Structure 1
Amino acid sequence: MEVAELELMIPTYDGIQAAKVKLNHVVVRTPLMKNLNFSERFQAEVSFKREDLQAVRSYKIRGAYNKISSLNEIERQNGIVCASAGNHAQGVAYSCQKLGIKGTIFMPSVTPKQKIGQVRMFGKDMVEVVLIGDTFDDAYNEAMTYCDKHKATFVHPFDDEKVIEGQGTVALEILEDADGPIDYLFVPIGGGGLAAGAITVLKTLSPNTKVIGVEPTGAPAMKESITQGTNIVLPKIDTFIDGAAVRQVGAKTLDICKEGLDDIILVPEGKVCSMILQLYNQEAIVVEPAGALSLAALDLYKEKIKGKNVVCVISGSNNDITRTEEIKERSLLYEGIKHYFIIRFPQRAGALREFLTEVLGPGDDIVHFEYSKKNSREKGPALIGLELQNKDSLKELFEKLEAKSFAFEYLNEKPDLMQYLV
């Protein structure tokens, strides 16, 4: 490959400027909004870049449209393909409908009906949804087979220069709308497309801005790849933060991020859930788990950002209401409020009443109680979930259980067993 051809495959600042023009009448110029509560809490100027307000409720429309609109006539006639169960699929569907290009979108068969419905709604008659396999990898493999057979163009969710340049327009808008220089930009990282686009802009226009990438603790593909010096494949990930849970980042995005990121923070999934609930209750903002990542990281950086101008990208709001109970559960577990035990009551009359009156605190609540029908509630082992009024009283609870001879297993320290039982 000639050097000139190779350079065309690398995202550039000029390419991002061109993408901005192309996207001008397609994407929403989302607001950069200063948040008073977060600014006061962190003693900083904290603003939100509200990509959750896009037509498809995430920034993914930017990269998808920029890529698909760049195809030549033959490529357009052959159609495009993508594999996704989330926001990328919706961005691709919307772009196909706007540009009049046929698209085939492969999604795992276990994808929630709400997301499938959204993709079909945005794509209308220009998109065919193919449900195949149980995992993203199954859908991806089928998509690549289809591309080879039909000579269709695969639209990658992040590892493509046109996609990265489209995502980079988020940073252009931030700099244009910011009130003064930006000290810190916090961006969520899944495959790395948004971070790579932002770095490409900032190294040209605002080199003093520190770019902080944020990954879920259960899917640290970018951090591990940078640490190990090679693009690794994580053997196992927690898929709860589905918009940022990838087993492997892009080759292009890794090259850019390892040079341009100032830091990568890992945020526990439970902390993200607490942030989702806080945004809903205090700010009336609905976000998906990946959309809350950048804000959830601020606690871990609070000393460094004092007095600074900080921007956090809220990347999306495609949250399924059926996940609300799981979000609340994960938040309570993370905050140290909810605890699960297997308790074997002593073989004496009144043991259950003793547990209720002498072990539990006056404000503690039993939220889960399950026992085998072959055993008496008074004598057999029981699976019990507790919500403590004060998270600091857990140690005292342990001491009371032991003093009253209640044999128990603490399941919060055994997440695999807890997930199976609860």
Structure 2
Amino acid sequence: MPRAPSPDYLKKILTARVYDVAIETSLDAARSLSRRVGNHVLLKREDQQPVFSFKLRGAYNKMVNLPKAQLDLGVICASAGNHAQGVALSAKRLGCRAVIVMPVTTPRLKIDAVAALGGEVVLHGESYSDAYGHAVELQQTQGLTFVHPFDDPDVIAGQGTIAMEILRQHQGPIDAVFVAIGGGGLISGVASYIKAVRPEIQVIGVQTRDSDAMVRSVRAGKRVQLGDVGLFSDGTAVKLVGEETFRLTRKLVDDYIIVDTDEVCAAIKDVFQDTRSILEPAGALGVAAIKQYVAAHKCKGRTLVAITCGANMNFDRLRFVAERAEFGEQREALFAVTIPEERGSFKRFCELVGPRAVTEFNYRISDERLAHVFVGVAISKRDEADKIERNFVRHGFATVNLTDDEMAKEHVRHMVGGRSPLAADERLFRFVFPERPGALMRFLSSLHPGWNISLFHYRNQGADYGRILVGIQVPPQDRAAFDAFLEELAYPCVEETDNPVYRLFLR
């Protein structure tokens, strides 16, 4: 059977119907980020769409072009997020039935959002693949039309209207446009328009390290299916890209950049600082890639566009994003430092840290001769971590740089502690002190050298006040003197020596 001719995507994009439901989003200058990277960074704000994602463009363009008989029967899709909301809103606008099959693991926030738009939510399976299989069954039994999230010419054309807007909104030079890739619908549409109208502009695709199906497929020359994908950037977590999107991406896209979780978290923070908007991880891939691109090419004065393609962020992810952004920005370094268990060594180490902001300090007595301290220090650029490490070593403190150690960042930082047979006469206190530069070191320096610190836990949480949990070994005969010391110290504190949690896990 002869192959059907390829669609004329320029014509399809120019005639796409998206503005019945979508808005023309702004192209905003990221002024703070532009100053930091020395280039002109523009953000195409698809996070401003009514469903906080670009997906409704393609969904509506597909549905509005269906024959009336098909539309009257209704549509169906499988999605755990943005595409589901785009289909549901489009169906509401067109007055047709929309069945949305979602995995049972879908957050309640997204289920409620689809239902509020009038979509009939069907929960099935534990993954997108399970939901997709069930959607195909329902399509066949109920005569519904399947609206694919990316591998459909009308969907691709709808997404391509973003590029049409970019080139209309900024008619001056553009060096590159950075586009997140999941299944490939967005970049296929964007590249189809840009290469037809302004072929000198580079189109650069962005994927995460654990969801790079398109990059692997392009390198292999055929579609490669991943066995598993990471779910942090759930909007781009696709195991197998589309046939048509693979064809277009392979043909039109100039280059690819792979970003990691920390870089994405830092990019979310970058966009927040410039716009006060919080992107979902997939929405920040383009910004993360721009920073990596500038660092690799050492370019200055170029005009670089990132499509911020979504803002459907789960609230419970914000703590993780805030914490990991410091590593992605290369503004925090972690170390394991070994110091002698002898009087004065702790203070000597604190003096060595100097005026630097301490972001984390964890310690539990475990050896009569040596103390192992887990410490985080604020830095302004990555090579500072190596200089700090060398300085610690030069002054006699064995040090391991943990800044790039995933286990340290994910787990060990929360696990320093436990019971210790060496913690005799230990009393436990929670202290509160004003969170300002040098406050932690002043607190440590003010502790009486005659009483041994046997436990210490501090983590800067970005609050106005710092909170410390500290264990101090106080012999019975020193209790009166110790109480007088606490009164003179004048830091608000609560004794937790009798706390059942302490007795269960630390005593």
Q: Shorter-normalised TM-score: what interval?
A: 0.7 to 0.9
Q: What is the alpha-carbon distance in structure 1 between the residues aligned to residue 339 and residue 37 of structure 2?
A: 47
Contact 2:191–2:252 under 8 Å retained in 1: yes
Structure 1 counterpart of 2:223, from 219, 231, 241: 231
Q: The residue matched to 1:225 in structure 2 has which SS?
A: helix
Aligned residue number for residue 104 of structure 2: 109
CA contact (8 A) 1:163 1:193 kept: yes
Percent of paired sites with the same residue? 34
Give the C-alpha shift of residue 266 in structure 1: 0.9
Do 1:345 and 1:378's aligned partners in 2 also have CA atoms closer than 8 Å? Answer: no
Q: Distance in 2 between matches of 1:385 and 1:155?
A: 51
1:89 to 70, 84, 106: 84
The separation in 2 between residues aligned to 1:134 and 1:418, in whole angstroms, is 25
Q: What residue number does 1:36 align with?
A: 31
* Residue identity matched to 1:49: K
1:39-76 CA deviation, whole Å, 9 max, x = no partner?
A: 44444443221111111111101001011112223322
Post-superposition shift, 1:289? 1.2
Which AA in structure 2 matches 1:315?
A: C
CA deviations 1:106-164 (Å, max 9, x no partner) are 1121211112121122x22xx21122222222222221222222222221111111100
1:308 counterpart residue number: 302
> Which amino acid in 2 is paired with 1:299?
K
Residue in structure 2 matched with residue 373 of structure 1 by the alignment: none
* Residue 378 (structure 2) pairs with residue 389 (structure 1): yes
**Equivalent residue number for residue 365 of structure 2:** 378
Shift, 1:418, TM fit: 4.0
One-letter amino acid matched to 1:379: S
Unaligned runs of 5+ in 2: 415-507
Deviates more, 1:93-102 or 1:292-301: 292-301
Assess if the C-alpha contact under 8 Å between 1:202 and 1:209 holds in 2: yes
Deviations 1:155-178 (Å, cap 9, x if unpaired)? Answer: 111111110011011111112222
Residue type at the aligned position of 1:12:
Y
Cα displacement string for residues 198-230 of structure 1 (whole angstroms, at most 9, x for unaligned residues): 121122211221111111122111111101111
Other structure's SS at 2:125 match: coil
Number of aligned residue pairs: give it. 403
Once the 2 structures are TM-superposed, how far is the Cα of residue 322 of structure 1 from its aligned partner? 1.7
Paired residues of 1:11 and 1:165 also in contact (CA < 8 A): no
Change (3 A) 1:147 1:419: farther
TM-score (norm 1): 0.84
| Structure number, greater radius of gyration | 2
Q: CA deviation at 1:417?
A: 9.8
Aligned CA distance change for structure 1 residues 404 and 308 (closer, same or farther; 3 Å) = closer
- Determine helix, strand or coil for the equivalent of 1:106: strand
* 3-state SS of paired residue (2:179): strand
SS at match of 2:15: helix
Cα separation, 1, equivalents of 2:282 and 2:202: 21
Mark the CA change 1:404 to 1:266 in structure 2 (over 3 Å): closer, same or farther: closer
In structure 2, what is the equivalent of residue 374 of structure 1? none
Cα 1:32/1:412, change in 2 over 3 Å: closer
Q: Secondary structure at the match of 2:112?
A: helix
Specify the alignment match of 2:52 in structure 1: 57
2:205 to 213, 234, 242: 213
CA distance in 1, matches of 2:137, 2:36: 51
Amino acid at match of 1:89: A
Q: Paired residue for 1:327?
A: 321
Contact 2:183 2:242 in 1 (8 A): yes
Higher relative contact order (CA 8 A, sep 6+): 1
Distance in 2, Cα, partners of 1:187 & 1:15 = 20
TM-superposed CA distance for 1:419, in Å, is 4.9
Q: Is the 8 A contact 1:349 1:378 kept in 2?
A: no
Structure 1 distance, partners of 2:31, 2:105, is 40
Aligned-pair CA distance for 1:420: 8.9
Mapped pair 1:297 → 2:297: no
Per-residue CA deviation, residues 357-393 of structure 1 (Å, 9 max, x unaligned), is 63783546474759xxxxxx42289997642134634
Displacement of 1:310: 2.7
Cα separation, 2, equivalents of 1:293 and 1:261: 16
Q: What is the DSSP-based 3-state SS (H/G/I as helix, E as strand, rest coil) of the residue aligned with 1:95? A: helix
Q: Distance in 2 between matches of 1:287 and 1:413?
A: 26
Distance 1:403 1:47 in 2: 48
Single out whichever of 156-165 and 137-146 deviates more from structure 2: 137-146
For structure 1, list consecutive stretches of 5 or more residues without a partner in the other structure.
371-376
Please give the root-mean-square deviation of Cα atoms over the aligned residues, in Å: 3.2
Structure 2 residue identity aligned to 1:387: G
Q: Do residues 199 (structure 1) and 191 (structure 2) align?
A: yes
Distance in 2 between residues matched to 1:47 and 1:405, nearest whole Å: 45
- Letter of the structure 2 residue corresponding to residue 156 of structure 1: H
SS of alignment partner, residue 41 of structure 2: strand
Give the counterpart letter for 1:197 in structure 2. G
Selected match of 1:287 from 245, 254, 279: 279
Match of 2:5 in 1: 7
Deviation at 1:405, TM superposition (A): 7.8
Contact preservation (8 Å) 1:11, 1:200 = no
1:73 aligns with 2:68: yes
In structure 2, distance between residues paired with 1:366 and 1:180: 43
The 3 A distance-change label for structure 1 pair 382 and 112 is: farther
Cα–Cα, structure 1 residues 420 and 242, in superposed 2: closer, same or farther, change >3 Å?
A: farther
393 and 197 in structure 1: CA distance in 2 versus 1, 3 angstrom threshold? closer
Conservation of the 8 A alpha-carbon contact between 2:283 and 2:310: yes
